[in-house]
A and B are shown apart, each in its own frame.
Chain A
Amino acid sequence: MTTTSQLPILLSGSGKLGHADADDQRPHRDHPTMARDFVANVQRTHWHDGALWFVRNKRDAQASSIPEWEYLREQASAIKQEAIAKLADFLEQFEANATRLGAVVHWAADAEQHNEIVHEILRQRGIGKLVKSKSMLTEECHLNGYLERRGIEVVDTDLGERIVQLRQETPSHIVLPAIHLKKEEVGETFHTHLGTDAGASDPQYLTEAARGHLRGKFLAGEAGLTGVNFAIAQTGGIVVCTNEGNADLGAVLPPVHIASMGLEKIIPRLEDLAVFTRLLARSATGQPITTYTSHFHGPRDAASELHIVIVDNGRSTIRESDTFRAALGCIRCGACMNTCPVFRRSGGHSYGATVPGPIGSVLNPASDDARHKSLPYACSLCGSCTDVCPVKIPLHHQLLAWRKEFGKRGLLSVGKTLPMRAASFVFRHPALYRLGGRLARIAMRTLPRVFFVNRLNTWSRDRELPTAPADSFSQWYAKNRGPK
């Protein structure tokens, strides 16, 4: 990595992280290019925008029902900052308590190790069928492909995840994995894979079909893998929040429960959950709380196993940066995606990363700056993400900070730096600024329109340029309020 960072930002320390296998070797296209395809379909863009705006409105209704909402956000932020600061202590405390309760705790430095650990647990027990509930961490590690290549059947059981799995796609949103799909498309997928009626697209009917299909998978599962929403240092317990009940079925039926967690999922105390359970679902989907908030303390009985895999995969690197540390407080509610006007109009897949949207655009460059350098610019800096974030991550300021970091690392294209070098020079020379402005306005007023409205001018492809006045304000001022 080319880095000339002078800040105590050590984000270049770990090399390219995150991708354990060859899943992600598709040619990479930047955000504006991917977004162009999405936004070209105006109707569909409006539909996608409306679906997410609906969720944002539900979030607003729930947030406004809690008079102390802003106070809770401050509390959540303070708890996360405390947890991240003393992360090693809390992890050790968690490990000791979880072990005392009978769980087995594993540590994975990166995605490859996480996948190896999970595979080894399954291999040693001769397990060939894994039922999985939603875990963005396993998406980040590309676990499914890793296990499938080693002969293990992996079934995603969250409805949205199952839909994208059957379509051989990736989730486009961390909470609403199939938000990019229309019900007719889901109907076609289910017709092909589950044998539902051709042309059927009623969500009730399709969900019922998935319920029947996945019941069979749950009953046949030999191990269940879940994510972790919160890991409690004080007790050694883990908390998983779902609406469908799939995590619980996967954890209660097979004898082996594997829980994968990023190391930032730690919270210090049991009572801290009060703050987070009040914020999480309200922020995520506009529900007062998820249907199921399950607290696992140890395996369910002597005949069962609970394995907890703690994964770093670049997180400790982010912790070392004063600028980006707060992003580790993310509780993966997805509220920043629902509110982001760019996400709503470009779709999650346009970000080319497991975690899309504002928080993804902060986290992804930390693991591969060159690959993800367009993401911090996929943002109008409107700040709505920062205002909805339940843990008060200053997302839009962090996106701005990434742009500066790219500048320091020499990652900006000449197309970005050259105009800014020129502008900076002009702005340091007021006489040149005034003359340049004057000439530009004369040109705009006298030259034929084609000089300004053409394919090379990205602005005027869809927008008129402002009408150039003969006099600038400074000229007007000199004439009308001149030196006294």
Chain B
Amino acid sequence: MVAIANSRQAILDRLKSIPIEQPPAPVVDPQRLVRYDDPLAKFTEVLSFVGGQVHVVERPQQVSEILGQFPAFRDAQQVASSAPEILTGNIDLNKVADPHLLAYLDWAIIPGRFAVAENGAIWVRPTGPIERAMLFLTQHLVIVVPKTELIEHMHEAYRRLGQDGVGTSGPEFGIFISGPSKTADIEQSLVIGAHGCRTLQVFLIDDSSGPAVATDGGDGLAGTTPDRPVAGDSAGRI
């Protein structure tokens, strides 16, 4: 293991011995990015395309009403919820000490922070390892997101993650989820339900007090790292 002990320095020394001049990559120019006339329609289209289901509801109570229409939900033995204000499960997550105990979980419901129109992804930030394990062990997953928290694309998404202090405030896990788990490893035949959830239900809850869609000012992206040049006209046309 002596050789391994020296590897760090040896690798860094070797990399440093060959200096390469390269300017920082230009900041993404927000003017060049896609805009959607109807982000909700785009989100619904894309999430459906990847096998998820979107429900836009006005009241939180509608979530359990709609889920009640699924036989798999009515027949569920184990339901866990980390959104008790919307739905209470029959498993108290606070009392689950080991994620393995969720092995037979049928349904799980969790809040999502925001949803992304371009790819149907929802950012989910579980509060701890049990909630995190729940996301992948459950047979069916439900994510609830305020309808106001719908953004257009991933540039906006990562700007928000930066604002939220992802990675700078301490250890954490966060994930974009876009659809139920899937595979096409056998002859490129798409099969929904690989190792994770078999179905994904996304509820966008319309809180009428807020604006319909969260949008950014045009300069939101450019302002994040002022030390880098902004790619504007000089980036050249494609």
Contact = CB atoms under 8 A, between A and B. Distances in A.
A and B touch in the complex (CB under 8 A): yes
Interface of A: 51, 54-55, 66-68, 70-71, 74-75, 78-79, 81-82, 84-88, 91-92, 97, 101-102, 106-109, 113, 116-117, 120, 157-160, 163, 176-179, 181-183, 186, 203-204, 206-208, 211, 214-215, 218-219, 232, 234-237, 243-246, 248-249, 252-253, 263, 268-275, 277-278, 285, 287-301, 304, 310, 312, 316, 319-320, 325
Contact of A177 (B11, B159, B177, B185): B185
A365 B180 CA distance: 40
9 contacts: A74-B235, A88-B15, A176-B184, A178-B185, A181-B186, A215-B195, A244-B182, A290-B178, A292-B196
Nearest to B177: A292
Given A101-B167, A157-B195, A301-B128, A75 B187 contact: no
Contacts of B193: 207-208, 211
Contacts of A88: 12, 15-16
Interface in B44-72: 46, 49-50
B28 A163 contact: no
Contacts of B162: 270-271
A160 B136 CA distance: 19
A159 B184 CA distance: 9
B35 to A, nearest CB: 9
B41 interface: no
Contacts of A214: 195
A278 B154 CA distance: 7
B87 to A, nearest CB: 22
Contacts of A102: 171
Contacts of B94: none
A285 B188 CA distance: 10
A297 B161 CA distance: 13
B153 A278 contact: yes
Interface stretch (B75-83, B114-122, B211-219): B114-122
B226 to A, nearest CB: 13
Interface in B186-204: 186-189, 191, 193-197
Given A214-B195, A268-B24, A292-B177, 20 more contacts: A71-B235, A74-B238, A75-B26, A84-B20, A113-B4, A116-B1, A159-B183, A176-B184, A183-B187, A203-B191, A245-B196, A248-B135, A274-B155, A274-B157, A278-B118, A289-B154, A291-B50, A292-B181, A300-B173, A319-B18
Contacts of A232: 167
A169 B238 CA distance: 43
A304 B184 contact: no
B169 to A, nearest CB: 9
Given A75-B28, A297-B171, A298-B170, A288 B34 contact: no
B181 A319 contact: no
Nearest to B154: A274
A300 B178 CA distance: 22
Contacts of A296: 173
A291 B20 contact: no
B96 interface: no
Interface in B86-119: 99-100, 103, 118-119
A289 B119 contact: yes
Contacts of A92: 12
B209 interface: no
B4 A277 contact: no
A133 to B, nearest CB: 9
Interface of B: 1, 3-4, 7-8, 10-12, 14-16, 18, 20-26, 28, 32-34, 46, 49-50, 99-100, 103, 118-121, 128-129, 132-133, 135-137, 153-155, 157-159, 161-162, 166-168, 170-189, 191, 193-197, 221, 224-225, 231, 235, 238
B28 to A, nearest CB: 6
B15 A316 contact: yes
In this complex, the member of B1, B129, B167, B173 whose beta carbon has the largest number of chain A beta carbons within 10 angstroms is B167
A227 B100 CA distance: 23
Contact of A204 (B18, B167, B191): B191
Contacts, number: 268
B158 A274 contact: yes
Contacts of B221: 271
| Shortest beta-carbon contacts, A-B, top 7 | A245-B196, A235-B167, A298-B171, A85-B22, A160-B185, A244-B194, A288-B119
Given A85-B21, A219-B100, A288 B46 contact: yes
A108 B3 CA distance: 9
Nearest to B33: A68
Contacts of B168: 235
Nearest to B12: A88
A244 B176 contact: no
B176 to A, nearest CB: 4
Contacts of B135: 248
Given A245-B136, A274-B154, A68 B34 contact: yes
Nearest to A67: B34
Contact of A292 (B18, B161, B175): B175
A158 B185 contact: yes
Given A109-B3, A300-B129, A211 B194 contact: yes
A35 B214 CA distance: 54
Given A71-B32, A82-B22, A252-B99, A244 B196 contact: yes
Contact of B167 (A67, A248, A297): A297
Nearest to A236: B167
A251 B11 CA distance: 28
Nearest to A52: B188
A82 B167 contact: no
A170 to B, nearest CB: 15
Contacts of A55: 188
A129 B172 CA distance: 26
A312 B161 CA distance: 30
Nearest to B18: A320
Contacts of A203: 186-187, 189, 191
Contact of B11 (A97, A274, A312): A312
Contacts of B26: 75, 78
B117 to A, nearest CB: 10
A293 B176 contact: yes
A158 B177 CA distance: 18
A207 B170 contact: no
A183 B33 CA distance: 41
Contacts of B231: 75
Nearest to A220: B100
A294 B173 contact: yes
